[in-house]
Amino acid sequence: MQNKVVIITGASSGIGLALAKEFAQRGSKLVLAARSAEKLKDLETEFNNKGTETICVATDVSKEAECKNLIDKAIAKFNRIDILINNAGISMRALFKDVDLDVLKQLMDVNFWGTVYCTKYALPHLLKSKGSVTGISSIAGFIGLPARTGYSASKYAMHGFLETLRVENLKTGLHVLIAAPGFTASNIRNTALSNDGSAQGESPRNEDKMMSAEEVAQHVANAIKKRKPTLILTFVEGKLTVWLKKWAPRLLEKLTYSHMAKEPNSPLQ
């Protein structure tokens, strides 16, 4: 990864920030994107002071023009792109019967369209470098999670897009990775949207028992290095879930419902 130019969206916190630190340790050059210009300014100073050549670009990935600007700024600075990591994302928790449709649209705009926009404008440069496109997905992209209709829908859409992109580029040298971390200790549940679009505020899960964002970042970086097509992390909530989806889907639905209903203040209760 030495001197590779890596773009990371949603880079100001959680898995995105952990990825930035991981690739910095591996000698990469960074292009970091997030909505908060203030946080990005501090990160740009921090990484550059530690010897990692870094630029930060305030970006709302739900807006096509801002995604194009992100890619343009990366090329203007480094004249190449080797890795694009589509990490920016938001979640939700509400039953479909109760949720405002604007919430589902917002999740699709960020999680799906954000991936599409950034990939579209980065693709010509990634084809030149025979680089990598990564989507940070979720186990929700393999099974529908109750009270997360918008989240699961956006991740299923991301999977379909990235899998098709991979097939289209079987002979171009482009690498496409779908990474599903499972439940990870990050701020995504704190910022998850409720039925009316307001932030949930407090995580309904014990974050201490989850895989850390730093562990996820190491696994993702290794998978990109090895050019793996898929990365599924954790056994029970990851690999076993995907296996049951194929071989015992009805059982998995019952187990999933039971598991999600045990969350504090679950809408399923």
Q: What is the CATH number of the domain that holds 162?
A: 3.40.50.720
The confidence score (pLDDT) of residue 122 equals 98
Distance CA 237, CA 59 (A): 32
- Percent of the chain scoring above 90 in pLDDT: 77
pLDDT digits (tens, 9 = 90+) for 33-63: 999 888 999 999 999 999 999 999 999 999 9
The confidence score (pLDDT) of residue 192 equals 87
pTM of the predicted model as reported, rounded to 2 decimal places: 0.91
Mean pLDDT by runs of 10 across the 269 residues of the chain is 96 95 97 93 94 96 98 98 97 94 96 98 98 96 93 97 98 97 64 84 58 93 97 86 91 89 84
Is 99 among the domain residues?
A: yes
Q: Which residues pair with 224 in a beta bridge?
A: none
DSSP 194: -
The confidence score (pLDDT) of residue 269 equals 76
Is 219 among the domain residues?
A: yes
Is 51 among the domain residues?
A: yes
Strand, helix or coil for residue 238: helix
- Which residues are annotated as catalytic? 151
Strand, helix or coil for residue 258: helix
Distance CA 142, CA 124 (A): 29
- Give the domain range for residue 131: 5-238
Residue 195 near residue 103, CB atoms below 8 Å: yes
Residue 30 near residue 6, CB atoms below 8 Å: yes
DSSP per-residue codes, 149-186:
HHHHHHHHHHHHHHHHHHHHTTTTT-EEEEEE--SEES
The confidence score (pLDDT) of residue 198 equals 87
Is 133 among the domain residues?
A: yes
**What's the N-to-C CA distance of the chain in angstroms?**
47
Residue 84 near residue 132, CB atoms below 8 Å: yes
Is 143 among the domain residues?
A: yes
Is 158 among the domain residues?
A: yes
Is 126 among the domain residues?
A: yes
Is 262 among the domain residues?
A: no
Domain count, the chain: 1
